[in-house]
Structure 1
Amino acid sequence: MTKTITFAIMHFSVAFTVAYLITGSFVVGGAVALIEPAINTVAYYFHEKIWNRLRRDNTLQNTFVSAGESFALKS
């Protein structure tokens, strides 16, 4: 949990610093530092769901290919 919290602090800091350096505004920097990580968190959730589905589908496909190859070699 400590690693997660320190990563979140780093993420907010980087987002704030980049937005502040680009705009010169503490308000915009603060808004970006709050909004960007929140949106990124939601995007990451869907990224993981898609990635897990692709990995599961790929594992099934590899299983069938391996089984077919084994059968072909035994015949």
Structure 2
Amino acid sequence: MLRLRQLLRANQPTLLKTASYYMIHIMVAACVAYAVTRNFWASLTLSLLEPSVQAVAYFFHEKAWNRAQARQAPQPALGAAQ
């Protein structure tokens, strides 16, 4: 349980960003699905299923981008701190 708390704390900004994106995505998906199907239950199912999968994918996508940016950041010179 401690490890999960540490993971959540360490990734809090990304998780909050993912959650806000998830809510917007559900609303957009529900509107689009309803416009296409004219069926409330089908649009509700589609709007919950697809964004849920996307939210998980987005979290890992964001983590990969953060790692790539960290690798590209200029590294301090070894002798510069002296």
Q: Report the number of matched residues.
A: 59
Q: Is residue 67 of structure 2 the alignment partner of residue 57 of structure 1?
A: no
Runs of 5+ consecutive residues of structure 2 not aligned to the other structure: 1-15, 78-82
- Larger RCO (alpha carbons 8 Å, 6+ apart): 2
- Report how far residue 49 of structure 1 moved: 1.4
TM-score (norm: length of structure 1): 0.61
TM-score (norm: length of structure 2): 0.57
Give the structure with the larger helix fraction: 1
2:59 counterpart (41, 45, 53): 45
Deviations along 1:10-64, one digit per CA (max 9) or x if unpaired, are 43222111001112222220111111221121011111111111011101xx327
Matched with 2:41 is: 27
The structure with the largest alpha-carbon Rg is 1
Q: Among the aligned pairs, what percent are the same residue?
A: 37
Once superposed, what is the RMSD of the aligned Cα atoms? 2.4
